[in-house]
Structure 1
Amino acid sequence: MNGCAAFCSPASTQPALPLTLAHPLAHHSCTMFFKILLLSAAAFSATTTAATTYKASFTQYGSTDTWGSGNCNVASTACGFYTSPGYSAAVSQNEFGVGPGAGAGPACGTCWKLTAQTDSSGNNLSNAGNSIVVQVTNLCPASGNPLCAQKGLTGTNQYGANLNFDLCIDSGASNALFGNSGVGLAVGSAVQVDCNQWSGEVVH
């Protein structure tokens, strides 16, 4: 039995007629069925793949920062893994999902496309529009850190950003995004993407 007959043939105790001998209305109903099915599938795909673009700020931390953070590309991150190779970042607590000491949040392992546009004063970067994809491996805690203290995903920090990504220097992420712009803090956009767009390996 062909696919159309399987879905659209009326119930009958008689053997199914070949499609070429079927009543024209039965063929029309079958055609309409598959059109509706295809349209429904397309609508479902569109609604499930759409992603929100957030305004984001970008900072950096790791073994060469001014706070003595140490190597950020280690398994002692809040997520319990690191990337080698592959760009990684800590994300603000409102997206990470849990606070310090609570272990891995739901954002662990998610991948984000980050695009830098301006410096902290709103001036366009020399490499404005530069993008990278990072994987979340750590938490940027809200406590004592205004950049990562947004209230929910609609809240903002002092740069109007809904999210902050603290780029792991030791993974190469900060250098890749900031490039030769000469900044250590930038503002732009962030959108969650499928991790098939991220290039790297996870190490536990």
Structure 2
Amino acid sequence: MCCRFVSASNWISTSLRQPLTHPLAHQSSTMMSMILLTAAAFSTTTTAATTYKASFTQYGSTDTWGSGNCNVASTACGFYTSPGYSAAVSQNEFGVGPGAGAGPGCGTCWKLTVQTDSSGNDLSNAGNSIVVQVTNLCPASGNPLCAQNGLTGTNQYGANLNFDLCIDSGASKALFGNSGVGLAVGSAVQVDCNQWSGKVVH
């Protein structure tokens, strides 16, 4: 905490112990107390969401690894999206490993912004953004892209997180566009799911 705030109640308690020397002093004191109470009631502390460097890959029924349809209820989270963009997230954010069921990352929504290819060259659609909902795990074991050590660790692209975009939900096409890449680097920030357009299906 950078600053200390003297509560209105403490100020009122102190001020009421002072002698009143003018007919308007009590009225003035009461008015000031009301102002302080109103200010305290409306004061809020806001924390900006952390923006992470992220890498983006894709998986699903048309990938080269034979992954199969990624937009199904057999995902680690136990649900899929229809409609709506979805993705698997690296294990450091998902929260649990393979076979442990739904992690705390399930159902979170993220704004993803693409910037460069894997070599650091700006993409033709650099700055393009989509919002996805997490429905699956990108496991750390045997997968360096998703094996970051905590949220401060990075993969080989310097990314704190990896989002494996579900091809079958349309997420990879929406983010990569016509850039011609299947792996890109950019940024990710968690957002409220009211910014995500879609429906969860169990």
| Superposition TM-score tier, normalisation by shorter sequence | 0.7 to 0.9
Structure 2, unpaired ranges of 5+: 1-11, 13-25
User: Superposition pairs for residues 76-115 of structure 1, below 5 Å?
Assistant: 76-115=74-113
* 1:69-106 deviation digits (Å, cap 9, x = unpaired): 00000000000000000000000000000000000000
Query: Match for residue 34 of structure 1?
Result: 38
**1:65 shift after superposition:** 0.1
Query: Match for residue 67 of structure 1?
Result: 65
Structure 1, unpaired ranges of 5+: 1-7, 9-21
**1:35 shift after superposition:** 1.9
- CA-atom RMSD in angstroms: 1.7
Displaced runs of 4 or more, over 6 A: none
Query: Match for residue 23 of structure 2?
Result: none
Q: Whole-Å Cα distance in 2 between the matches of residues 154 and 168 of structure 1?
A: 25
SS in 2 for 1:23: helix
Aligned length: 181
Q: Whole-Å Cα distance in 1 between the matches of residues 40 and 92 of structure 2?
A: 40
Give the alignment partner of residue 29 of structure 2, picking from 12, 19, 25. 25
Look up the equivalent residue of 1:129 and give its one-letter code: G
Q: Give me the TM-score of the superposition, normalised by structure 2.
A: 0.86
Task: Work out the percentage of aligned pairs sharing the same amino acid.
Answer: 85
Q: Give me the TM-score of the superposition, normalised by structure 1.
A: 0.85
* 1:150-189 deviation digits (Å, cap 9, x = unpaired): 0000000000000000000000000000000000000000
* 1:99-129 deviation digits (Å, cap 9, x = unpaired): 0000000000000000000000000000000
**1:24 shift after superposition:** 2.4
Q: Whole-Å Cα distance in 2 between the matches of residues 130 and 61 of structure 1?
A: 20
